[in-house]
Amino acid sequence: MPDHLKRTAAFAAALSALYAAHEVGDHWVQTDRQAETKGERGEQQRAGQLACARHVAGVTATKAVVLAITCKALGLKLRPRRTAAALALDAATHYWADRRYTLEAFADMLGKGDYFHLGLPREGHDDNTTVGSGRFMLDQAFHRAALWAAALIIAGGVE
């Protein structure tokens, strides 16, 4: 099989595996405490940093396992260092975005601040804080872009 077809197949397999694992890791593996705490700042900043790091470790482990199972099932041989680099990039960007204030500042910088705040809690209301908000949608879109980049890195090193 020509190399470009091997890379194309590896990209499709890696992206599919990483996407599925992201959904599981971000919504099933993440604990309620991590979800509630990972964005904390000020006096609770250390707790927020630790919660976010634990969440990212769980998501990354989930992605590594699903990717390994996918490669085994499809007979794909990936270069370990490229795969590790891709997962490290994804983990770093995931941590950055999930600290929340960073993604909020990025959204503001790009003129998406109003959308970021759409659906977030309002003073005196018990509104939804995650699912259904602009923050959640921008967060997930950011993560998916990182997954795409990780899959490209992985596919470039297929053996």
pLDDT of residue 2: 80
Tell me whether residue 10 is exposed, middle or buried, using C-beta atoms within 10 angstroms of its C-beta: 0 to 12, 13 to 18, 19 or more: buried
- Please tell me whether residue 94 adopts helix, strand or coil conformation: helix
User: How many structural domains comprise the chain?
Assistant: 1
Calpha distance 134→126 (Å, rounded): 17
Calpha distance 115→103 (Å, rounded): 12
Contact 85, 128 (CB under 8 A): no
Predicted confidence pLDDT, tens digits, the chain (159 residues): 788 888 899 999 999 999 999 999 999 999 999 999 999 999 999 999 999 999 999 999 999 999 999 999 999 889 999 999 999 999 999 999 999 999 999 999 999 999 888 877 666 665 555 557 788 889 999 999 999 999 999 998 776
Calpha distance 39→144 (Å, rounded): 20
> What pLDDT digit, counting tens, does each position of 77-99 carry?
899 999 999 999 999 999 999 99
The DSSP call for residue 155 is H
pLDDT of residue 63: 98
Residue with tokens 């949608």: 137
Q: Residue 63: which domain range?
A: 3-155
Calpha distance 28→61 (Å, rounded): 13
pLDDT of residue 27: 93
pLDDT of residue 1: 75
pLDDT of residue 50: 97
Calpha distance 8→29 (Å, rounded): 30
Calpha distance 147→129 (Å, rounded): 24
pLDDT of residue 125: 60
Q: Where are the beta strands (DSSP E) in 12-156?
A: none
Nearest residue to 94 via CA among 151, 43, 56: 56
